[in-house]
Amino acid sequence: MGQILAIDIGGTQIRAALFERGSLKPARVERTRTEASKPGVYDRLEALVASIWPEGGQVDAIGIASPGPLDPHTGVIIATPNIKEWRNFPLTGKLKARFGVPVVLDNDANLACLGEWQFGAGQGHQDVLYLTISTGIGGGVVSNGRLVQGYHGLAGELGHTTVWPDGPLCGCGKRGHIEAIASGTAIARYAREQIQDGGRPSSLASLATITSRDVSDAAAAGDLLAIETLARAGRYLGVAVANFLAAFDPSIVIFGGGASNSGPALFDPFHASLRENIFDPTYLTNLTFARAALGDDAGLLGAQTLAAMAVTQK
């Protein structure tokens, strides 16, 4: 049995890692800068894969975690926010033609979910809900031991579900998505608006720019506006997660992403809202809440898992 080559395509760097199948630690890791706005991203990626390819060794499959939207069934990148030259780009097809092994692909949130399930906080569970709260809100779902991908490969886009039809505008152009209310970006924006447009007093008023981390720090120090800002996000996050429980009924909810470090100022109102909005308390019986355990390696480890599954199923 050969090795698995896992790739994580990030905004600033592309990482490639060689794994013994099922291993948490890579045998080798190489990186290159993404330089997303410069031409030749694919060529840099291909050279990176060639540079890590084991001499005389065997690679069973390549797994790739990429920003979406993308189609995991065809291996085509539909578009990525950063890499403009990748529009309807047949990424797995090109790598398969070059390296002659199976190549599989999914978006970073889905693969972070898969990675946390196999190697991280979700180990031992069969029904996993994963939410990453950072600049946006990403989601991934494992149901009965399988990643939920959907017909177009667009399942689990949980940040773009509506919890407030007349609510704030989302980055995607629609209204009231949970991403538009509870993402790090949304948290920082709400605090800024309350200060600038609402004239509300806050320790944050002296800052030139406000981040969600600033809001968390200010809330921890007792700033009332910051506390209210996080309570608002937590309340709607509770509505959203109540919906996800009714849809998927997981045994564990895993939170990743920087803004999920906001602590009790976010999560106390979240849990109160979840209890208030969940339609049957049975959903909460033996339900585990956990922090993501794998950090930046979750996508890479999920890509390894997806690739190993693809080979096993053949």
Chain residues in the site for a second copy (CB under 8 A): 69, 78, 125-127, 141, 143-144, 146, 148-158, 160-165, 170, 172-174, 177, 236, 239, 242-244, 246-251, 276-280, 282-283, 285-287
Supply the minimum distance, in Å, between the C-beta of residue 168 and a second copy.
Answer: 14
Give dist(CA 306, CA 239) in Å, integer: 31
Supply the minimum distance, in Å, between the C-beta of residue 288 and a second copy.
Answer: 10
Q: Which is nearer to a second copy, 42 or 283 (CB)?
A: 283
Supply the minimum distance, in Å, between the C-beta of residue 185 and a second copy.
Answer: 16
Supply the minimum distance, in Å, between the C-beta of residue 204 and a second copy.
Answer: 26
User: CB 87: neighbour CB atoms within 10 A?
Assistant: 11
Q: Which is nearer to a second copy, 183 or 243 (CB)?
A: 243
Q: Which is nearer to a second copy, 3 or 277 (CB)?
A: 277
Supply the minimum distance, in Å, between the C-beta of residue 235 and a second copy.
Answer: 8
Supply the minimum distance, in Å, between the C-beta of residue 175 and a second copy.
Answer: 8
Supply the minimum distance, in Å, between the C-beta of residue 172 and a second copy.
Answer: 5
Closest by CA position to 253, among listed 284, 228, 231: 284
Give dist(CA 300, CA 298) in Å, integer: 6
Q: What is the DSSP letter of 278?
A: -
Supply the minimum distance, in Å, between the C-beta of residue 261 and a second copy.
Answer: 26
Q: Which is nearer to a second copy, 51 or 279 (CB)?
A: 279
Q: Which is nearer to a second copy, 268 or 280 (CB)?
A: 280
Give dist(CA 292, CA 263) in Å, integer: 14
Q: Which is nearer to a second copy, 165 or 199 (CB)?
A: 165
Q: Which is nearer to a second copy, 28 or 84 (CB)?
A: 84
List the alpha helices (DSSP H) in the chain: 41-52, 91-99, 108-119, 179-182, 184-196, 212-220, 224-248, 264-277, 298-313
Supply the minimum distance, in Å, between the C-beta of residue 163 and a second copy.
Answer: 7
Asked if residues 16 and 48 have their Cβ atoms less than 8 Å apart, the reply is: yes
**Residue written as token pair 């399988």:** 146
Q: Which is nearer to a second copy, 18 or 253 (CB)?
A: 253
Torsions phi, psi of 80, nearest 5?
A: -130, 145
Q: Which whole-number Å values give the CA distances from 51 to 3, 47, 88, in the listed order?
A: 15, 6, 26
Question: Following DSSP, what letter does each residue of 198-236 receive, concatenated?
Answer: T----GGGG-SS--HHHHHHHHHTT-HHHHHHHHHHHHH
Give dist(CA 259, CA 182) in Å, integer: 9
Q: Which is nearer to a second copy, 47 or 279 (CB)?
A: 279
Residue 9, token pair as written in the block: 């395509």
**Which residues 6+ apart lie within 8 Å of 7 measured at CB?**
14, 15, 16, 17, 45, 48, 49, 62, 63, 64, 65, 300, 303
